[in-house]
Homo-oligomer: A and B are copies of this chain.
């Protein structure tokens, strides 16, 4: 089992604030797991008894609607932490975390997290900062969902995906999503998402290389996302 002190992924999250002593302690209690593509790491409505730190891999956070449709709330990748919201609010898990590709994840028991929150002020502050930032993003998202037309939201989402996942060696957004998943992110029907992607391609704003998407005119896409 690897040691948390040596793990460099933690520099991207609140665990970077832990002392060597705290890291040793957590190392002893943590477990590592592999989540295969399509599998759930967390499930909506369940209790959670620890914090997950994603070492590697991409995933989606989703919510199942009353009509049975999936809504993608957020994308996750290596360096992200999960489960702290539920632990801190003492509520059940609110979202499903599903692997988009195989993920390596570490699990740290709740007790250790709570102990560290009590002992290490920098850790508390870092967690608060993380959640506060997420809340701000969520509020922006509410506004955009409520007021922007589907085309604008699609443009916004493509820019956002490139921001999070970067591009591969051909310049394509480096995450493989089905058209349905794109639709479930922007909140529209799959056919509508497909149609709008085709339009963006026709207008020379993006390229569709199989399932992969390449943003060929970022400025145009930005304008579209802002309603021009």
B65, B91, B143, B226: the one contacting A63 at CB < 8 Å is: B143
Is the Cβ of B66 less than 8 Å from the Cβ of A128? no
- The 8 A CB mask of A108-142 against B (1 = contact, 0 = none) is 00000000011001001101110111111011111
CA–CA, A118 and B227, complex, Å? 44
Q: Give the interface SS of chain A, mostly helix, strand, loop or mixed.
A: helix
Sample of 24 A–B contacts (CB below 8 Å): A66-B226, A71-B142, A71-B143, A71-B146, A71-B147, A73-B139, A73-B142, A85-B135, A88-B132, A89-B132, A89-B133, A90-B129, A91-B136, A95-B139, A117-B124, A117-B125, A118-B121, A124-B124, A128-B128, A128-B131, A131-B135, A135-B135, A146-B186, A147-B187
Q: Does A145 contact B (CB under 8 A)?
A: yes
CA–CA, A142 and B67, complex, Å? 15
Contacts of A186 in B (CB 8 A): 146
Contacts of A86 in B (CB 8 A): 132
A197 CB to nearest B CB, Å: 18
CA–CA, A129 and B117, complex, Å? 13
Is the Cβ of B65 less than 8 Å from the Cβ of A140? no
Q: Does A29 contact B (CB under 8 A)?
A: no
Interface residues of A (CB under 8 A from B): 63, 65-67, 69, 71, 73, 84-86, 88-91, 94-95, 117-118, 121, 124-125, 127-129, 131-136, 138-148, 186-187, 226-227
